[in-house]
Structure 1
C-alpha cells in the first residue's frame, strides 16, 4: 500500500503534464489539414437528384457537386498545391452533420438546408439554392394537398426538415399522419413506388429530380401548396473562418460571373443522367436574386 501511495504523486504529475501537453497541441484548421495532406474530403449524397447523386456508372454527379468541385479547384489555387486529391465520402441526412463535425468530411454540398438550428452545430456557405417542401404522389392517388393525407401513410427522409414540418403541420391542425421514415431519398421513392405509402414529402426540386429518374415519370406528379421556403448551402465545420472565406469567395465568383447559372441550366434545363430526361425548370427569380447578391442567411 505504501509503495502504491508513493507512486501516486508521480502518476498524478505525469497525467497532469500529459493533459497539459495535449491541451497545448494546436488544432489544425481545415486549410492547414488540406495543405499538409494534399487531400480534401468531400461529402456527397447518393440519390439527391439533380443536386448530388450516382449516375448509372456510380459516378457522383449533380448541380451541387459541380459547384463543390469548382470550389475545390479554388482551394487548390489558394493553397498553391501542385495537386489536390479528392476523397468522396457518401453521407445521408442523418449522418452528414456528425461527419462534418468529426472531420471525416471537410465540405458537403448536396441538398442540405441552412437553418438556425443546424447553424449551432456547423457552419454554412453562402446559399446555393432555394426550395420548399411539397408532395410526390401517383397521378391517380386523389391527393392534391397535405390535408388529403389525414390518417394515411406519408413518407419522409429521416433527419430532414420536411420530417419536422410534417409533424408540426399535424400538431398545429390536430391531424394525425402515419409517418414513415426512409434512410435516403432513393429508398423513400422506392417505397412509394411499391405502394407502401400515399405520398412522399420532400423539397420540390428533389421530388422533380426523383420523378425524372423514375421508369414511368408520367405516373407521378408533384402536388400541394409549397411549405415555408428554405435555402440550401454547403456545410463545413464551425469556427473556421479562413476556410469559410475561401468557400464563400469561390461560390460568390461562380454566381456573379454567370458560371453557376450555366451549371444550373446543365442540371435543370437539359437532359440529365441516368435517363436523359429534362426537368425543364428555368431558374426562379429567388435563385437569380441569390446569384446577384450571395449571402449565408438562413430562412428558418
Structure 2
C-alpha cells in the first residue's frame, strides 16, 4: 500500500511539472526558433507607420529592432491596429506587443506588462478659440477618438453627460475627421497631435488639458516569466545606456522622462 501511495504521489508530481513547464520555456523557444515576432503600430506615427521607403519606421519599430539584435534573432514585424494588439498576443501570432500600449487593470487581466519604455500622455486638443479646460467642458461637443484605445476607455468611463463621442477605426480616420471638421475636439496622444500639427503647419490646434498620463509598456503573454524578465532587463539596460533617451529625442522631440517600473 505504501509503495503504491509513493508511486501515485510521484506520478502526480510529474504531471504537475508537465503542466507548469511550458510557461518557463517561452524565452528559450524564441531563441531556438531564431525569430522574434513583434507587433508594432500599423499607422500611429511617430511610434510606428509605413515610411517613404516602404518600410515601417518609428520609436516602437526601433525598440523592436534593438530587442531582436540583443536576442540575436531575426525580427518579424507584425503591423497591428489598436484592437488587434491583445488578441494577436493571446493567440500566439506575436511574441511581444510594442505598440504604444498603456497598462491598466482591465488589460492586465488578459496579458502581462513590462516596465515602461516610452513616455506618453492622452489629452484633448482643439482650436485655440474653443474654451475647454476639463472633461466637464466636453459636454455638448463632438469628440473624435480612435475606438479601443486608452483615450476611448477614459471617455467612456469619465465623459460627462451630453458628450457626443465619435469613434473611428484607426488613427488616420480620427485625424481626418478633425481636419475635415467632422468633430470639434480631438482626444488622442500628445505625439499624435504633434505629428498632425507638424504635417499641417496652418492648422489651428492646441493642447486644452491632459486626460491621463500613460507611459507605453511592452505586452507579453501571460505565463511567459522568462521573456518578461528578459524584457525588463533589456529596458533597464537601454535606459542606463542612453539608447531610449536617444529614441525619445529622435522621435518625440523630448528627453526621456522618468518612467515607472513594474
Question: Could you say whether these structures have the same fold, taking a TM-score greater than 0.5 normalized by the shorter chain as the test?
Answer: yes
Residues 1:136 and 2:120 are matched in the alignment:
no
- Of 42, 45, 51, which aligns to 1:49? 45
Task: Extract unaligned runs of 5+ from structure 1.
Answer: 1-19, 77-83, 270-281
Write the distance in 2 (CA, Å) between the matches of 1:144 and 1:181.
Answer: 20
Aligned to 1:68: 64
How far the C-alpha of 1:223 sits from its partner, in A, is 2.1
Q: 1:156–1:163: 8 Å Cα contact kept in structure 2? A: yes
Residues 1:264 and 2:229 are matched in the alignment:
no
Across the two proteins, how many residue pairs are aligned to each other?
244
Aligned to 1:194: 180
Q: How does 1:1-300 map to 2 (within 5 A)?
A: 27=22, 29-76=25-72, 84-139=73-128, 142-145=130-133, 146-170=135-159, 173=160, 175-212=161-198, 214=199, 216-269=200-253, 282-283=254-255, 287-290=256-259, 295-296=261-262
> TM-score normalised to the size of structure 1?
0.74
Q: 2:47–2:100: 8 Å Cα contact kept in structure 1? A: yes
Secondary structure class of the residue paired with 2:145: strand
Write the distance in 1 (CA, Å) between the matches of 2:31 and 2:228.
Answer: 15
Secondary structure class of the residue paired with 2:167: strand
Distance 1:36 1:25, change over 3 A: farther
The RMSD of aligned alpha carbons is 2.3
Write the distance in 1 (CA, Å) between the matches of 2:20 and 2:121.
Answer: 44
Secondary structure class of the residue paired with 2:182: coil
How far the C-alpha of 1:243 sits from its partner, in A, is 0.6
Larger of the two Rg values belongs to structure:
1
How far the C-alpha of 1:147 sits from its partner, in A, is 4.1
Secondary structure class of the residue paired with 2:205: strand
Q: 1:208–1:222: 8 Å Cα contact kept in structure 2? A: no
Distance 1:205 1:32, change over 3 A: same
Q: 2:145–2:187: 8 Å Cα contact kept in structure 1? A: yes
